[in-house]
Structure 1
Amino acid sequence: MSSDVVELILADHRKFEDLFRELRSSEGDRRTALGDLSALLVAHAQAEETEVYPTLRKSSQVDDEEVEHGAEEHAEGHEALLDLLEVDEPGGDSWDEKLEQLSETITHHLDEEERTILNDARATVTQQRRDELGEAFLRSRQHYLDKDCGRIEYVRELVRESQS
């Protein structure tokens, strides 16, 4: 596996898409898929915000506004994730509605991040630096996964913090 931060982030993005397909399917364990999505989504966003975005912002090689916008979209994603986590039963109308809201929010963010921040990073940040950032991203993401960051209580706290 590559240690290039851009490739690692893109791999997570494809995993999110796979998990959304699982969540839409009436076959399989939707609660398990939601737990997997919640953990990876939160850990991914936290790692980007603690390791990747600050470094890209400092380097002045990636647009500051895009980095700030990416962090704002993480907060929106956490709110939509919390809404879905609070639905009692997978498969009902409320589940479908909240799942689509989350999917649209995340898909929008992934598209923008890939077209702006990641393309800029690929074009302007050296391979060595992207590899260093990738290693830091993986360590940070694992740290959050180890904290069980996908729990509803953890997501609630993230939403509270972003609203204050």
Structure 2
Amino acid sequence: MSFTDCIKQVHRLFSCLVAIKLHGHFNHTAIAQQEKAMSTPAHQDAISLLEADHREAEDLFAQYEKAKDAEKTEEKFEIARKVCAALLIHMQVEETIFYPAARAALDEEGDDLLNEAEVEHNGAKDLIKQLGETKPDDPMFDAKVKVLSEQIEHHVDEEENELFPKLKKTDLDLDSLGDEMAQAKEDLKEQLKAWRYSGS
């Protein structure tokens, strides 16, 4: 499933749950504040940009656990929505820009790591799709978020401790690649906001 199809489907499913299961109340102010916090810094090299994304996801999963423990259904739902969107954007940027550049820089040395990373992405996307189809007050919603967080934790560990160190030893221009990735992230965020508020 393409990024466009995936994010539209997740957005549509999550929007239906907001309207039906949360009585139509949706905190646009909170979402706008979250989107502002997601803004990409002016310049980061490619690895620093991805590591910042990883820290953001870790923080969001931690926030989710706190909201879950406090039984704040709407708050945890909004956090889940944000982390799903952030992960989809992150994965799209990796798959279309970072991974191809990494494959070219590492040749066959990086094939196993990068193949595994793409398989892990597919698993995460499937869980995100399942979340969009699950009621936020269903115990399985919490279970799916937990499994997603564990999958992402494993994925991050492999990237940061195996893939990134290998890339730092190559001639790959991480600065210019970071600029390209940052622009792609901003473009995808604008697409996401347009779909969210258009109700498409």
State the TM-score, normalizing by the size of structure 1.
0.80
C-alpha distance in 2 between matches for 1:89 and 1:50: 31
Cα separation, partners in 2 of 1:24 and 1:70, compared to 1, 3 Å: same
State the match for 2:129 in structure 1.
82
- Alignment partner of 1:64 out of 111, 134, 150: 111
Q: Match for residue 148 of structure 1?
A: 192
Q: CA deviation at 1:86?
A: 2.1
Residue aligning to 2:174: 130
Any gaps of 5 or more consecutive residues in structure 2?
1-40, 196-200
* Aligned residue in 2 for 1:40: 86
Q: 1:143 to 1:101 in 2, by over 3 A?
A: same
Tell me: CA distance 1:143–1:7, structure 2 relative to 1, closer, same or farther (3 Å): same
User: Larger deviation: 71-80 or 61-70?
Assistant: 61-70
Q: CA deviation at 1:21?
A: 0.8
Distance 1:142 1:72 in 2: 25
Counterpart CA distance in 2 for 1:109 and 1:119 is 15
Report how far residue 17 of structure 1 moved.
0.3
Where does structure 1 lack aligned partners over 5 or more consecutive residues?
Answer: 152-164
C-alpha deviation, 1:75, in angstroms? 0.8
Q: Which portions of structure 1, spanning 4 or more consecutive aligned residues, are displaced by more than 3 angstroms?
A: none
Is 1:8 the equivalent of 2:76?
no
Judge conservation of contact 1:80–1:105 (CA < 8 Å) in 2: no
Which residue is 2:64 aligned to?
Answer: 23
CA shift for structure 1 position 125: 3.7
Distance 1:132 1:25 in 2: 38
Q: What secondary structure does 1:109 align onto?
A: helix
Structure whose alpha-carbon radius of gyration is higher = 2
Query: How far apart, CA to CA, are the structure 1 residues paired with 2:111 and 2:136?
Result: 41
Aligned partners of 1:59 and 1:95: how far apart in 2? 40
Q: What's the Cα RMSD here?
A: 2.2
Q: TM-score, normalised by structure 2?
A: 0.67
Conservation of the 8 A alpha-carbon contact between 1:4 and 1:134? yes
CA distance in 2, matches of 1:117, 1:19: 24
Number of corresponding residues: 148
Separation in structure 1 between the aligned mates of residue 47 and residue 124 of structure 2, nearest angstrom? 20
Following the alignment from structure 1 to structure 2, what is the Cα–Cα distance between the partners of residues 137 and 64? 21
Identity %: 28
In the TM superposition, what is the alpha-carbon distance from 1:73 to its structure 2 partner?
Answer: 0.9
Q: Determine if contact 1:23/1:30 at 8 Å carries over to the other structure.
A: yes
Q: 1:31 to 1:96 in 2, by over 3 A?
A: closer
The 8 Å contact of residues 80 and 145 in structure 2, kept in 1 or not, is answered as: no
